[in-house]
Amino acid sequence: MNQPAIFESHIKNDVQFGEEVKVVLPVNLYGCTIGSRCFIGPFVEIQKDVQVGDGTKVQSHSFICSLVTIGKSCFIGHGVMFINDLFNNGGPAGGDKSKWKHTVIGDHVSIGSNATILPVTVCDHVVIGAGAVVTKNITEPGIYAGNPARKIKSI
């Protein structure tokens, strides 16, 4: 007889929460800081050394790897993947954290479902379209889409 899948949520003691945070289980959170009035959807992983700003919403099935900072009042759509390892030596850096890179997302940034965000800096007031792959810094407010993501409209 098959056993049902058992989902466990892992919220470690080293997670710092602001006020009025809503977390929908199951999740995997450790070593991160979640600001006040945030929403974290189910099946989300947020790793060590991540900071999520006040009022930010992270939808289901998103992965936020170490060394990511997300600003205030952001929206992270379903299935968004953040990357901190560029495979510079032809493969994963593994435990060599010196090869991992930082990502900084400004305030009031919306990232559409299934976007992939490489180690970049994104300024305030940006919309990144669903499925976009952000490979370079975004320094001007606007709407960005495609692979690689390009500015398609000013806002």
Domain ranges of the chain: 10-153
- Report the mean per-residue pLDDT for the chain: 94
Closest CA to 118 of 86, 95, 141: 86
Band the pLDDT of 13: cuts 50, 70, 90: confident
Structure tokens at 84: 């901190």
CA distance 133 to 74: 18
Q: How far apart are CA 136 and CA 80, in angstroms?
A: 17
Pick the CATH number of 10-153 from 1.10.3370.10, 3.30.70.360, 3.30.1490.20, 2.160.10.10: 2.160.10.10
**pLDDT tens-place string over residues 49-102:** 999 999 999 999 999 999 999 999 999 999 999 999 988 888 888 878 888 999
- Pair of tokens at residue 155: 């806002």
Per-residue pLDDT of 22-42, as tens digits, reads: 999 999 999 999 999 999 999
> How do beta strands 142-145 and 150-153 pair?
antiparallel
